[in-house]
Structure 1
């Protein structure tokens, strides 16, 4: 179950890099725009330049490339499934290479298979760049700052940010507990992934039930810990550390904007 330990959400690796030093608000805005941008462009040289931009981000993160390759492990099956579906059952168009009943391989199908698979890979790598270089606390504070205008509409910004932060923070913890439960059940002779679909679903019960019990127990412990520290929400709450938007964040966002604008205009 090594895949469980490589899930990118909630993972943070400290380093003294340019990307680590950037304000989290700038990284969230850049990540959000790049994900939207990937859905706007078509499959051509644009994807090559997006990949080059991601490689540049990895270079400025000062983190080994293997971390980003490992972060793709949980979505390998999804990428492969997406590729196969579009490759054999995709839209018909262009030259037809092979056909047998509803199964067909066409020029447009191959293009869409590559296009959709690369889209998933790029989204995961962009998300990994954000989470690997930004601590959960920085993400929470940045998200709260970005959503501040919603306070005028009585939206609970602080509570929403806290909820999202806790959810992200406990993803690796729950995955680690899942790994331990699976190993414990296998030591007791449990078998997973065998038999028909119904039997496979039933075999997951010894994993799901203890996991839910542990999740509720952790939620209760966290609530008691927050209450014992007099946590009462956003009212009158201050921050120990404050972050400030500086010229380097402006330069970073400007570079991302110009780079993507050039791709849209010329490709």
Structure 2
């Protein structure tokens, strides 16, 4: 099995669920509201309110839970390390002690809150990329940022760059896997040896990966130029976006969650 096959960031999961049919502009508008609700939550009620829209979207998306768990596989270690560091570095009532390490009650719950926030933020981001095609993401970003064109912001180019960067994440991971297997067949591996040997092997991986990325970028630029791509100059949009009642319902739910969190935090 591929080392990077479990990483689902930037990958689209085909489907015909309500979340797949939802207007991509509504998804992008809901994202900052969800982020605000998750980051402001600090009480039991606000934790539930902040998580409700994300969990509801997970159910409506009809994407297997295993796909999300695989996408977070490499993040669990970071979350656990963050929990441990918060627990032993934050002063407070002692829960457990071993040698010079002391786990405080306050630090432990602070670490749990950190895991709560990071997990929901990651899941909400994965929901957007897994239920929205790169083309629709580009169009939605461009439509939402269109008012900023009056002040000279290159809206179309910015949306295109963000979408291409997202689209090429799986491609780069696949390329890295090919390079690693080629190195292993020649007796080299970043998974064995001491720290110095692993660092040297990592450099041997990064250099060809960078060269491959530059080659792909050049090929993409040539292909776009050959097709007379000139940004949004004189171009019309094939996809016409229209808000549906369900889009407004989801935005209203997310806004209600943010209001609940804000009310619970400051009252």
TM-score scaled by structure 1? Answer: 0.92
Match of 2:61 in 1: 61
> Any unmatched runs of 5+ in structure 1?
none
Q: How far has the Cα of 1:107 moved from its partner?
A: 1.1
User: Retained in 1: the 8 A contact 2:37–2:257?
Assistant: no
Asked if 1:10 corresponds to 2:10, the answer is: yes
Give the 3-state SS of the residue equivalent to 2:91 in structure 1.
Answer: coil
Match of 1:214 in 2: 212
Match of 2:259 in 1: 261
Q: How far has the Cα of 1:43 moved from its partner?
A: 5.2
Mean Cα deviation higher: 194-203 or 223-232: 194-203
Match of 2:26 in 1: 26
In 2: Cα distance, 1:101 partner to 1:144 partner: 56
Match of 2:154 in 1: 156
Mean Cα deviation higher: 253-262 or 204-213: 253-262
In 1: Cα distance, 2:258 partner to 2:63 partner: 24
1:89-124 residue CA offsets vs partner (Å, 9 max, x unmatched) = 2x213x223456863211111111111122211111
User: Retained in 2: the 8 A contact 1:71–1:125?
Assistant: no
1:122-147 residue CA offsets vs partner (Å, 9 max, x unmatched) = 11111111111001111111111111
Residues 53 and 255 of structure 1, relative CA distance in 2, 3 Å threshold = closer
Aligned pairs (5 A) from 1:79-98: 79-89=79-89, 91-93=90-92, 95-98=93-96
Give the 3-state SS of the residue equivalent to 1:186 in structure 2.
Answer: helix
Match of 2:244 in 1: 246
In 2: Cα distance, 1:100 partner to 1:56 partner: 41
Match of 1:39 in 2: 39
In 1: Cα distance, 2:223 partner to 2:241 partner: 26
In 2: Cα distance, 1:54 partner to 1:19 partner: 12
Give the 3-state SS of the residue equivalent to 1:5 in structure 2.
Answer: coil
Match of 2:197 in 1: 199
Residues 37 and 10 of structure 1, relative CA distance in 2, 3 Å threshold = same
Q: How far has the Cα of 1:164 moved from its partner?
A: 0.6
Residues 76 and 100 of structure 1, relative CA distance in 2, 3 Å threshold = closer
> Any unmatched runs of 5+ in structure 2?
none
Q: How far has the Cα of 1:2 moved from its partner?
A: 4.2
Aligned pairs (5 A) from 1:111-260: 111-260=109-258
Asked if 1:50 corresponds to 2:34, the answer is: no
User: Retained in 2: the 8 A contact 1:23–1:245?
Assistant: yes
In 2: Cα distance, 1:198 partner to 1:66 partner: 36
1:45-86 residue CA offsets vs partner (Å, 9 max, x unmatched) = 432443343221111112211111111113122112211111
Higher relative contact order (CA 8 A, sep 6+): 2
Q: How far has the Cα of 1:201 moved from its partner?
A: 1.3
TM-score scaled by structure 2? Answer: 0.92
